[in-house]
Amino acid sequence: MEKHTVLHFKKNCISCGACAAISPNYFEMDPEGLAELKGSATVDDHQELEIDTEDAKAQCQEAADVCPVNIIQVKKK
Ligand code: SF4
C-alpha cells in the first residue's frame, strides 16, 4: 500500500472521545482530556503519523469519520 500520513490537529480537540473509542490502537485520551495520536510526531501545529497498511488506514479513517470537528485527516503521501 502507498504510504499515508495521519494528521491530528490536537489543539482543536473538543474532548468527545469518539476517536479513541472507535480506533483505540491509534487514539487515546491524554490526562488533559484531549485526544492523542499514538506514536505521532508533532509537526508545526499538529501531530503526524506515517502508516503503511490497509488496516491502519481503515482504523484511522474511521476515527476521522467520527470526529465531529473534522480535525483528523488521512492523506496519501
Ligand atoms: S473525535 Fe475529534 S474531537 Fe473527539 S476526541 Fe477525537 S479528535 Fe477530539
Which domains, ranges and CATH numbers included, belong to the chain? 4-76 (3.30.70.20)
pTM: predicted TM-score of the whole model, two decimal places: 0.96
Please give the distance, rounded to the nearest whole angstrom, from the Cα atom of residue 55 to the centre of ligand 1: 20
Backbone angles phi, psi at 67, to 5 degrees: -65, 120
Nearest to 2 by CA among 56, 43, 72, 65: 56
The confidence score (pLDDT) of residue 12 equals 98
pLDDT, tens digit, for every residue of 1-19?
A: 899 999 999 999 999 999 9
Residues of the chain falling short of pLDDT 70:
none
The confidence score (pLDDT) of residue 1 equals 82
Please name the residue whose Cα sits nearest to atom 6 of ligand 1.
19
The confidence score (pLDDT) of residue 74 equals 98
Q: Is 32 exposed, middle or buried (0-12, 13-18, 19+ CB in 10 A)?
A: exposed
The confidence score (pLDDT) of residue 68 equals 98
49 lines ligand 1 (CB under 6 A): no
Alpha-carbon gap, residue 10 to 13, rounded angstroms: 5
37 lines ligand 1 (CB under 6 A): no
- Can you say whether the dihedral through the CA atoms of 26, 66, 71, 1 is positive or negative? positive
* Ligand 1 atom closest to 27 (CA): 6
The confidence score (pLDDT) of residue 77 equals 85
